[in-house]
Amino acid sequence: MLLSIRAGPALLCVAAIADRRLPLYLAGMKFSIGYFGKPRAPGIPPVLLATYTGDFNTVDDARKAAIADAANPKLGAADSIIIEPIGERWVKGETLIKTGTGWERRREPE
């Protein structure tokens, strides 16, 4: 397999051989991202505003995209985000909670 990447006037060519022994997660992972509003009252589950399923290289990439999307005014006032891996047993999902200064990860019990 030969990969070409154009960077300005220079052309960078990288020769790579596909190795079927490499784990599939190097090619990308699928995540489900749920955006939730504030609960209307104590004991009431949060309102689901939107969901998205997409391919990302890492959980960090999924988190960055989720936080950027949560700032979209069309989405509504997202108060929490849940990122869940799809079909990835060795990758943990996470929950993000909106704070006054940004987004923080909620600690899940081990």
Give the mean model confidence (pLDDT) for residues 68-85: 90
Give residue-wise pLDDT tens across range 27-68: 578 999 999 998 888 889 889 999 999 999 888 999 999 999
Distance CA 29, CA 69 (A): 19
Q: Say what the pTM is.
A: 0.69
The residue behind tokens 């019990």 is: 109
Burial of 29 (0-12, 13-18, 19+ CB in 10 A): buried
Q: In the chain, what are the domain boundaries?
A: 23-106
* pLDDT at residue number 110: 55
